[in-house]
Amino acid sequence: MELEISEAKERYHAAFQVTRQLMMDKNHDYGEAWRDMRVSSLTDLILMKILRVKQIEDHDGVTQVSEGVEANYQDMANYALFALILLDLTDGVAS
């Protein structure tokens, strides 16, 4: 699939906005528990999301209860950003 640079940028910004809003909504609903987490715990959450995406793919995208692939990727992106923030606060030393 050929994707023009301008369209790729538009899609990037759209995905960014949706993913950022998801993070804001979840922080409002669940609080900012990530602030007290270890980077390795965020890594574990990302790995769990990867496994979930694989399960969904194995079932041709059909889920009975959980969110779909896109939501799992959004969660992974937000967990990765939280990890980067925590790494920055600890000067790159994972806790």
pLDDT single digits (tens) 27-79:
889 889 999 999 999 999 999 999 999 999 999 888 877 789 999 999 999 99
Q: What is the pLDDT of residue 15?
A: 97
In this structure, how many other beta carbons lie within 10 angstroms of the beta carbon of residue 18?
13
Average the pLDDT over 7-21 and give the result: 96
In this structure, how many other beta carbons lie within 10 angstroms of the beta carbon of residue 78?
21
Q: What is the pLDDT of residue 70?
A: 93
Residue 40 makes CB contacts below 8 A (sequence gap 6+) with 94, 95
CA 2, CA 44: separation in Å to the nearest integer?
Answer: 34
Checking if the pLDDT of 94 tops 60, the result is no
Average the pLDDT over 82-95 and give the result: 80
pTM of the model: 0.84
